[in-house]
Amino acid sequence: MSRVYLDWNATTPLRAEAREAMLAAMELVGNPSSVHAEGRAAKSAMERAREDIAAALGAEGADVIFTSGATEAAALVLQDRGLACSPVEHPAVLAWCDPFLPADAAGCVTVPDPGRSVLQLANSETGVIQDLPKGLAVSDLTQAFGKIPLAFNWLGIEAGFVSAHKLGGPRGIGALVVRRGTEVAARIRGGGQEQGRRAGTENLIGIMGFAAVAKAAQNDLDQGIGEKVSQLRDSLMAALESQTEMVTFPGREARRLPNTLSILTPGWRGETQVMQMDLAGFAVSAGSACSSGKVRPSSVLTAMGIAPELAGDAIRVSIGPATEPRDVMRFADAWLAAHGRWRQRNDWRATAGRV
């Protein structure tokens, strides 16, 4: 039986729209910085792509600065600023900020000084969507872009960043979006590309793939894909909790991304579940993929008040536009079967310990 990919928050399959646009970009031989006809053609294609991405972000009139991904964009806008953030943020943000902003049990963060703070729009592990305060300095829009409607110009933030591979685009291309006139000091210096904010010849192939999926994802949202995906997530949640009283779903009390489900089973280690599901033919994760290989409690869940010894007992299921109802039900059956075996082993050990 074919494998089922349920780790869309880590990265997504490349969409056909991106592949087609990237193949077309490969035919453009010019450097966008060159003044000859080939260079001008490449520059024109890049600027059209920039406009398409800005439109999909609701950021018309803002500056879209291309980077190698969200991690670089975060460093570009956050380094040396000493902004405050919460432990629920992605490691790419935590690397540059002071994580003392509190989160409640639902994962919602309080921001007393927006102008000196960073707050993600949506969490990669729980899917919790934050209410961004007006005047917020920076927001990580990476997980939200393409999954829920958003408009940068209406969010009231100074800057945000996104990555193409989270919505069906290629890896290695992202963008920092800032209000026009916002000062951004270059970290990579050289040729003066991207208005002097990020040097280096632009990744035109990646940029055109990014623009194509930004438009495609926006069209999906217009067609109601969010409702379809949320129904699949809710059906999975119902299937699991109808069969076991042990499972909980961190963040379920809050507004969440339609595709994301955090599943916590006390005593059943997340990495063990991931391996068992992998052997059964399902790709899921035990947290942020950027922290893979590090067996430690989730800082997101501990920030929500979950004890460290339990925070390592969660997995994340994240679905996408191509996920089918049968995929979700197959996973539910496999997970419940593995859960039953785990409980039997625990019951046997408990019985043996009393003999």
In 3D space, the residue among 65, 73, 110 whose CA is nearest the CA of residue 92 turns out to be: 73
- Name the one residue in this structure whose structure tokens are 């953030």: 85
Task: Identify whether the C-beta of residue 119 lies closer than 8 Å to the C-beta of residue 136.
Answer: yes
Helix (H) or strand (E) holding 158: strand 157-163
3-class DSSP state of 129: strand
Q: How far, in Å, CA of 212 to CA of 219, rounded?
A: 11
3-class DSSP state of 84: strand
In 3D space, the residue among 250, 236, 246 whose CA is nearest the CA of residue 125 turns out to be: 250
Task: Identify whether the C-beta of residue 45 lies closer than 8 Å to the C-beta of residue 208.
Answer: yes
- Name the one residue in this structure whose structure tokens are 């632009």: 202
Catalytic residue list contains 85: no
- Tell me the Ramachandran region of residue 186: left when phi exceeds 0, alpha when psi lies from -120 to 50, beta otherwise: beta
- Which of 85, 97, 108, 290 does the annotation list as catalytic? 290
Written as one letter, the residue type at 214 is A
Residues sharing a CB contact under 8 Å with residue 310, sequence separation 6 or more, in sequence order? 264, 266, 301
Pairing of strands 136-140, 4-5: unpaired
Residue numbers annotated as active site:
290
